[in-house]
Amino acid sequence: MTVKIYEEKQIKGTDTTVVEFWRWVYSDLLSNTTRGILAEFLVGYALGLTHEPRVEWDKADFVYKGRLIEVKSSAYIQAWEQQKPSKIIFNI
């Protein structure tokens, strides 16, 4: 018996796969939601913390060496048409 990797698994009751869903939902890296998740992934990957699935609405994005890490992202260029680049502000 050949074991399919997770990404190739068919979504039950459909003719499509998990990877096809991921391609569709996360194809626009400029969208606010996807950009934030991409930023989390890049930080987690750099810290070696992407071996566990992402937990939505957890107390922090990561726990690293006993410290909570909350990742924030922003961009000058957005997915929608702009008159000028966005102003980046973080209130901490």
pLDDT for the residue 68: 97
CB 72 within 8 A of CB 54: no
pLDDT digit string, tens, across residues 15-58 = 999 889 989 999 888 888 899 999 999 999 999 999 988 999 99
What global pTM score does this model have? Answer: 0.76
pLDDT digit string, tens, across residues 49-76 = 999 889 999 999 999 999 999 999 999 9
Task: Round to whole Å and give the CA distance between 47 and 56.
Answer: 19
Which of helix, strand or coil describes residue 85?
Answer: coil
Q: How confident is the model at residue 7 (pLDDT cuts 50, 70, 90)?
A: low
pLDDT for the residue 1: 40
